[in-house]
Amino acid sequence: MTLSKKIFLLLILPALFINAAHSQTINWASLGKEQRHIAHAHAGFDYAFVYGVGYSRQLLSPIPILATIDFSTPVGNKVLDDFKTKIGGVADLCEFNNFHLSASVYGIYRRYENPMAVLQNFGSEFKGVFGFYQSKWFVAAEFGFDKAIVTHFEHSDAFKENYPEVKNGWYQPATGGNFSYGVQTGLSFDGVDALFRIGKVVTQDFKSSPTIPFYAEFGTNIKINR
């Protein structure tokens, strides 16, 4: 095993076992300081039809901050050939008159496999959310940027039949990037948020879109008192 493979495993395996978090869809007005643990589940279109689970822990801090992990995978016949893990945090930066501005930062590890290639990527996601929050409901606008920073390409024999000279390895500069913008809303009751978010995805040059140029997800948060 080469050094790079060992480092790879050291970095990746924890992420796989930890799993990770649906991002930043939180009703800040209904989140109590004593609710330290939040379990997430979500499903919908996010590049493909995906479902996922996650966990957030509210930190003891002057402003509400959640440390979050999330894992999602597309529905399909093959389990775990495609998936995305995210780890990061979200902070409720400021509040005035029931309006909240929050921001999140995530590190991403994701994998894609089809008959031609296996792609493994490290990336990042930044998101800002601004909206109106009440204890029973909220509605907010969100804007995000998902950057695929460095990607490893490994090609199958089927691909090499077409192009034997293809070069496997880590590729830079950044191999991709997509902006997203949309709305999120939710209802809150008895320590549970029922969530929905929908929006559009455009590539980083604003001139084209992914094959499925939108996202739409249902989700739920279950908030647990410590």
Measured CA to CA, the distance from residue 213 to residue 48 in angstroms comes to 10
Considering the complex, what minimum distance in angstroms separates the CB of residue 68 from other proteins? Answer: 18
Using DSSP, state whether 134 is helix, strand or coil. coil
Measured CA to CA, the distance from residue 69 to residue 207 in angstroms comes to 32
Q: Which of 118, 200, 109 is nearest to 148 (CA)?
A: 109
* Complex with other proteins: residue 7 or 13, whichever CB lies closer: 7
Specify the stretch interacting with other proteins by CB under 8 A; choose among 16-24, 29-37, 80-88, 92-100. Answer: 80-88
Residue type, 7: I
Asked whether 163 and 190 are in contact (CB, 8 A), the reply is no
Q: Which of residues 8-47 bind other proteins (CB under 8 A)?
A: 8, 11, 47
Would you count residue 117 as binding other proteins (CB under 8 A)? yes
Which one of residues 17, 96, 157, 169 is an interface residue with other proteins (CB under 8 A)? 169
Residue tagged 């930066």 (tokens): 93
Tell me how many degrees the CA angle 49-50-54 measures, rounded to the nearest 5.
Answer: 160
Binding-site size for other proteins (CB under 8 A) equals 59
Considering the complex, what minimum distance in angstroms separates the CB of residue 20 from other proteins? Answer: 15
Would you count residue 220 as binding other proteins (CB under 8 A)? no
Residue type, 129: V
Asked whether 145 and 111 are in contact (CB, 8 A), the reply is no
Would you count residue 127 as binding other proteins (CB under 8 A)? no
Measured CA to CA, the distance from residue 151 to residue 214 in angstroms comes to 23
Would you count residue 198 as binding other proteins (CB under 8 A)? no
Which one of residues 53, 119, 129, 195 is an interface residue with other proteins (CB under 8 A)? 119
Instruction: Kindly list the residues in this chain that would bind other proteins in the complex (CB under 8 A).
Output: 3-4, 7-8, 11, 47-49, 74-78, 81-82, 84, 107, 110, 112, 114-117, 119, 121-123, 146, 148-153, 158-159, 161-163, 165-167, 169-173, 175-178, 203-205, 207-208, 210-212
